[in-house]
């Protein structure tokens, strides 16, 4: 296990200051001070970030990208999340579709999609989970069949975040003949770039516990996808999806989803004369967060160095989401404030929102049990 400490250099400090200065001028976009801000879609805000060059930062300049490092992207993302900025619209495209297109896409796909992603104008959803296939992703049944000029896809996806607001979804499908999965379930899958406005696609929002409907179900009835929208090699879908999940699991969003509650809650404790219990709570939570951040930065440094720290990323997600899930309960007692979503009182609504959103933190991107399984295997314990 490698958690070599990493210190950010002067350039990244300057970049951090630049992002903070920009955010201080964006009061309208930040006034929600969102919990789980990477689920909130504001295309106008995404376009502003695109203008600043803060989307697709690590993509090559030839496709409009910033040609910058993972650590520079890390600093920008960290500041946006800490401010509770509504980054949901471009989130998936920036975090994983862009890098995936760069690795596996054709030249035509890169030239068409990457500049739009970088401008904050083209949004993607993740089409992996199906009604009977979440943790066991290799059990997917959505099937693409070859037809003249392309493919016809029939099946369905569920829990697809932002499918109502995105134009495209990166869809994992079976492409091998029916029955062939019996021999090897991980073979015969492929990824497609599906235009969600195609004929035969029906989208329906799903309302969550917090009353939001940013994820959806998608029904696909004989949907035609042209040949040039197959991503990567036919049959290589499993390997590509694993690469996609590596981007999905390792970032600071895995412990900063409710950073507004952390920051404002600790300020409240500090200034409201809560004495020793307040001081203890601040010390404990701040120490936990600082450790998580150091571990996560170490993972980012290894990614920058071209390594693939799968075990370390799994630990950060597991510990990070546990921290996020426990935060509201850890603060509620010392603050002596009851949670309530529409209570009109800032701290109360931050607590309420956090409690209602928390169950999803350890489900999305792979559940706690699945991550622990990966970790056990990685450590040779299973």
Ligand X SMILES: Cc1cc2nc3c(=O)[nH]c(=O)nc-3n(C[C@H](O)[C@H](O)[C@H](O)COP(=O)(O)OP(=O)(O)OC[C@H]3O[C@@H](n4cnc5c(N)ncnc54)[C@H](O)[C@@H]3O)c2cc1C
Distances from the Cα of 131 to the Cα of 136, 138, 139, 346, angstroms: 11, 13, 10, 37
| Rounded Cα gap, residues 122 and 46, in angstroms | 10
Contact between 374 and ligand X (CB under 6 A)? no
Instruction: Indicate left, alpha or beta for 262 from its phi (over 0: left) and psi (-120 to 50: alpha).
Output: alpha
Among 134, 150, 156, 378, binds ligand X (CB under 6 A): 134
- Minimum CB separation of residue 35 from ligand X in Å reads 13
Residues paired with residue 143 on neighbouring β-strands, in sequence order:
154, 174
Contact between 126 and ligand X (CB under 6 A)? yes
3-state secondary structure 262-296: HHHHHHHHHHCCCHHHHHHHHHHHHHHHHHHHHHH
- Minimum CB separation of residue 135 from ligand X in Å reads 3
- Determine contact, residues 195/170, Cβ cutoff 8 Å: no
Among 161, 165, 175, 288, binds ligand X (CB under 6 A): 161
Q: Which is nearer to ligand X, 174 or 364 (CB)?
A: 364
Contact between 22 and ligand X (CB under 6 A)? no
- From 233-241, 271-279, 303-311, 358-366, give the range in contact with ligand X by CB under 6 A: 358-366
Contact between 246 and ligand X (CB under 6 A)? no
| Rounded Cα gap, residues 66 and 68, in angstroms | 5
- Determine contact, residues 139/132, Cβ cutoff 8 Å: yes
Structure tokens at 166: 């995105």
Output the residue with the shortest Cβ distance to ligand X. 134
Contact between 325 and ligand X (CB under 6 A)? no
Q: Which is nearer to ligand X, 29 or 361 (CB)?
A: 361
- Minimum CB separation of residue 42 from ligand X in Å reads 18
| Rounded Cα gap, residues 108 and 272, in angstroms | 58
| Rounded Cα gap, residues 125 and 93, in angstroms | 8
Contact between 160 and ligand X (CB under 6 A)? yes
Angle at 179 between CA 187 and CA 130, to 5 degrees: 70
Say if residue 353 is exposed, middle or buried (CB neighbours under 10 Å; 0-12, 13-18, 19+).
buried
Among 129, 142, 250, 257, binds ligand X (CB under 6 A): 129
Contact between 55 and ligand X (CB under 6 A)? no
Query: For ligand X, how many residues bind (rule: CB under 6 A)?
Result: 19
Structure tokens at 26: 């964006």
- Minimum CB separation of residue 244 from ligand X in Å reads 10
Q: Which is nearer to ligand X, 19 or 315 (CB)?
A: 315
Q: Which is nearer to ligand X, 177 or 211 (CB)?
A: 211
Distances from the Cα of 2 to the Cα of 242, 301, 379, angstroms: 21, 11, 12
Contact between 215 and ligand X (CB under 6 A)? yes
Contact between 258 and ligand X (CB under 6 A)? no
Sign of CA dihedral 71, 74, 76, 82: negative
Among 2, 24, 62, 135, binds ligand X (CB under 6 A): 135
Contact between 159 and ligand X (CB under 6 A)? yes
- Minimum CB separation of residue 74 from ligand X in Å reads 22
- From 14-22, 23-31, 123-131, 229-237, give the range in contact with ligand X by CB under 6 A: 123-131
Contact between 97 and ligand X (CB under 6 A)? no
- Minimum CB separation of residue 173 from ligand X in Å reads 13
Contact between 83 and ligand X (CB under 6 A)? no
Binding stretches for ligand X (CB under 6 A)? 125-129, 134-135, 159-161, 215, 360, 363-364, 366-367, 369-370, 373
């Amino acid at each position: 296990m490698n958690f070599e400490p990493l210190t950010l250099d002067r350039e990244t400090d300057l970049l951090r200051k630049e992002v903070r200065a920009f955010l201080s001028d964006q009061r309208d976009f930040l006034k929600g001070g969102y919990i789980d801000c990477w689920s909130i879609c504001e295309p106008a805000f995404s376009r502003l970030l695109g203008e600043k060059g803060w989307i697709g930062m690590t993509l090559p300049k030839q496709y409009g990208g910033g040609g910058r490092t993972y650590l520079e992207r890390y600093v920008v993302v960290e500041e946006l999340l800490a401010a509770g900025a509504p980054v949901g619209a471009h989130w998936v495209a920036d975090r994983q579709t862009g890098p995936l297109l760069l690795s596996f896409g054709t030249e035509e796909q890169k030239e068409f999609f990457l500049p739009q992603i970088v401008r904050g104008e083209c949004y993607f959803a993740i089409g992996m989970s199906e009604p009977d296939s979440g943790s066991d992703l290799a059990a997917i049944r959505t099937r693409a069949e070859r037809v003249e000029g392309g493919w016809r896809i029939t099946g369905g996806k569920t829990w697809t975040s932002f499918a109502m607001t995105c134009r495209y979804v990166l869809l994992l499908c079976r492409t091998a003949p029916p029955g062939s999965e019996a021999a090897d379930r991980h073979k015969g899958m492929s990824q497609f770039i599906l235009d969600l406005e195609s004929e035969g696609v029906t989208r329906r929002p799903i309302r969550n516990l917090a009353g939001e409907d940013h994820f959806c179900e998608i029904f696909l009835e004989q949907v035609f996808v042209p040949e040039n929208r197959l991503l990567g090699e036919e049959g290589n879908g499993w390997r590509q999806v694993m690469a996609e999940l590596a981007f999905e699991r390792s970032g600071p969003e895995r412990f900063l989803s409710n950073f507004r509650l952390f920051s404002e809650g600790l300020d409240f404790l500090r200034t409201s004369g809560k004495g020793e219990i307040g001081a203890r709570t601040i010390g404990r939570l701040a120490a936990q967060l600082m450790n998580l951040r150091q571990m996560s930065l170490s993972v980012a440094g290894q990614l920058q160095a071209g390594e693939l720290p799968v075990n370390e990323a799994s630990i950060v997600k597991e510990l990070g989401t546990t921290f996020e899930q426990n935060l509201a309960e850890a603060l509620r007692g010392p603050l002596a404030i009851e949670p309530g979503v529409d209570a009109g009182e800032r701290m109360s609504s931050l607590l309420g929102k956090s409690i209602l959103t928390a169950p999803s933190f350890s489900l999305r991107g792979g559940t706690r049990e699945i991550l622990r399984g990966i970790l056990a295997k990685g450590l040779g314990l299973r």
